[in-house]
């Protein structure tokens, strides 16, 4: 493997943390001060629910239009000019499989061993790693044409969001495209998982478009597209954003800011 396409895997061993009871999760549901192990707890939950989660989200149809819009901004790969895409928090690898099918060089990482095991099956042509989105740039030896953060940044405490966006900036080419999809709203909370009813919980941070746009601007990104989508199945509000590294802002938005 050439230096340009080499990523050294970072070995991350999360501490063993017992999940709190449903009762305690409900008590802290709307507490904006989350404990330092919120990410570890969420990864532990994903390890438990990996298969059930994938079965419930087995199709990319709900967000394929957004993926296609992202790819149109990245540009099509061509002979002699490959396009490299990173999926940050890739989960079971469904988006990676789609990128590979379209001819892109796809890379993905996650902290959940359960999710990575499924990603290896679903996207065998993608290069997969166990990395933390808050500290992955030191393991990357080149820059990507596009970075996708699909329902993954929302599991990071808000106070650490600038750190993640900085990591994206470091590993994205100038004029590269960043795609982010996360839950709309305000504050932070734990939500009991509903895939296996195990009593485990996942941490969520909720944003508005204007809030996320301000964070992106401070880290050298300019939002070029923003919209909200109401998911009927679970009655969730989703925010989809595209941002360019180092461009003046030209927000194209059909949602409230």
Phi, psi of 146, deg, nearest 5: -150, 145
User: What is the tens place of the pLDDT at every residue in 135-184?
Assistant: 999 999 999 999 999 999 999 999 999 999 999 999 999 999 999 999 99
What ranges do the domains of the chain cover?
Answer: 16-245
The pTM of the full predicted model, rounded to 2 decimals, is: 0.81
CATH architecture of 16-245: 3-Layer(aba) Sandwich (3.40)
User: What is the tens place of the pLDDT at every residue in 68-92?
Assistant: 999 999 999 998 889 999 999 999 9
DSSP 64-82: HHHHHHHHHHH---BTTB-
Q: How far apart are CA 127 and CA 107, in angstroms?
A: 5
DSSP 200-252: -EEEEE-B-HHHHHHHHHHTTEEEEEEEEEEETTTTEEEEEEEEEET------
CB contact at 8 A, 167 and 175: no
């Amino acid at each position: 493997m050439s230096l340009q396409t080499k990523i050294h895997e970072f070995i991350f061993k999360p501490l063993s943390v017992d999940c709190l009871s449903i009762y305690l999760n409900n008590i802290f549901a709307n507490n904006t001060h989350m404990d330092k192990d919120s990410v570890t707890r969420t990864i532990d939950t994903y390890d438990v629910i990996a298969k059930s989660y994938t079965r419930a989200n087995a199709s990319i149809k709900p967000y394929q239009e957004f993926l296609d819009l992202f790819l149109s901004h990245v540009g099509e790969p061509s002979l002699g000019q490959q396009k490299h895409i990173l999926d940050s928090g890739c989960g079971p690898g469904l988006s990676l499989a789609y990128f590979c099918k379209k001819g892109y060089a796809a890379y993905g990482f996650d902290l959940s061993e359960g999710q990575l095991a499924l990603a290896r099956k679903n996207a065998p042509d993608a290069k997969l790693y166990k990395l933390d989105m808050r500290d992955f740039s030191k393991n990357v030896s080149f820059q990507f044409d596009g970075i996708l953060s699909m329902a993954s940044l929302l599991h990071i405490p808000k106070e650490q969001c600038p750190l993640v966006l900085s990591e994206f900036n470091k590993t994205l080419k100038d004029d590269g495209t960043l795609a982010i999809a996360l839950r709309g709203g305000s504050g932070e909370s734990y939500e009991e998982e509903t895939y296996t009813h195990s009593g485990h919980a996942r941490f969520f941070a909720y944003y508005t478009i204007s809030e996320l746009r301000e964070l992106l601007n401070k880290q050298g990104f300019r939002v070029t597209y923003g919209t909200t989508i109401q998911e009927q199945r679970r009655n969730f509000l989703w925010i989809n954003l595209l941002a360019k590294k180092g461009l003046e802002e030209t927000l194209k938005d059909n949602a409230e800011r």
